[in-house]
Amino acid sequence: MKALNVITLISILTMSLAGCSEDVGKVSLGVFTTSDIFIDAKQDPKLPGVTCHISHVEANFDLSDPSNASIACRQTGPITPEQLATIDKSKSGEVVFKESLSILFKSLKVRRIYDQENNTLLYLSYSTKETKGSFKHSLSSVSLYQGN
């Protein structure tokens, strides 16, 4: 009886986690490569009215994935003044997403920075490892303008 309860619980958890998937796309880079481009959708944890789509390459069977990534963020729901009051408004902002890209030290981070003068949210994606003398990065902005 206990085994049946454990199996039932595992089945329920597996089905509920399947709906939490953030993967929205996958593109193969060809027949002769093990690399694919993955597209993930992530909601800002403090501003759930903002969704960021991040594309990045995953190289199967490699110890680390390439550092290139692209980001596009849009307002997909309401953003309240109460929510805005909770975000870090410093010049360096705060990390809102982080994903490991290798067994050692390299990760992809997304940092939210608030541009108060232009009333805009900036989302900067970047690799924490230098590649050929450069840190790969990409920028997207979400205007909070409430015009007529």
**What pLDDT digit, counting tens, does each position of 13-39 carry?**
333 333 333 888 888 777 777 678 889
The encoded tokens of residue 123 equal: 């989302």
pTM reported for the whole predicted model: 0.74
- The tens digit of pLDDT for each residue in 48-98 reads 999 999 997 776 655 544 567 899 999 999 999 999 999 999 999 999 998
Give the whole-angstrom CA distance, residue 35 versus residue 61.
9
Delimit the domains of the chain by residue range. Answer: 22-143
Cβ 138 vs Cβ 69: under 8 Å: yes
Q: Residue 63: is it exposed, middle or buried by C-beta count within 10 angstroms (0-12/13-18/19+)? A: exposed
